[in-house]
Amino acid sequence: KQEVTQIPAALSVPEGENLVLNCSFTDSAIYNLQWFRQDPGKGLTSLLLIQSSQREQTSGRLNASLDKSSGRSTLYIAASQPGDSATYLCAVKSGSARQLTFGSGTQLTVLP
């Protein structure tokens, strides 16, 4: 059974810092990995999706990397802003599964 872990559970940084959020998974036979952002009262928004054949994806100040062999993904946020404050979730779609397995998330606070 796939298990997804995100550490740390919470992170607080001053505005302008570059930061890295971590995600690890136990079964490397994945189809893809997604990073989501969750804002209170607004559900989840997909940020980046990395296919199993890819090493990274970039969108604006966000960069997500994937290392299947070690079961790890990172989300890099450059020049953080208070508006980046949210909970960030990673989710893995395993090769044979028809569903996503979510991590418990990292709650990010960017201080002005």
Partner 1 sequence: DADVTQTPRNRITKTGKRIMLECSQTKGHDRMYWYRQDPGLGLRLIYYSFDVKDINKGEISDGYSVSRQAQAKFSLSLESAIPNQTALYFCATSDMGQGVETQYFGPGTRLLVL
Of 18, 26, 51, 58, the one binding partner 1 (CB under 8 A) is: 51
- Compute the distance between CA of residue 11 and CA of residue 7 in angstroms, rounded to an integer: 9
Of 21, 33, 100, 108, the one binding partner 1 (CB under 8 A) is: 100
Contact criterion met (CB below 8 Å) for 86 and 46: no
Q: Is 37 in the site for partner 1 (CB under 8 A)?
A: no
Tokens of 81: 């802003």
Residue (of 63, 73, 88, 58) closest to 28 by Cα position: 73
Of 7, 9, 20, 79, the one binding partner 1 (CB under 8 A) is: 9
Chain residues in the site for partner 1 (CB under 8 A): 4, 9, 32, 34, 41-46, 49, 51, 89, 91, 93, 98-100, 102-105
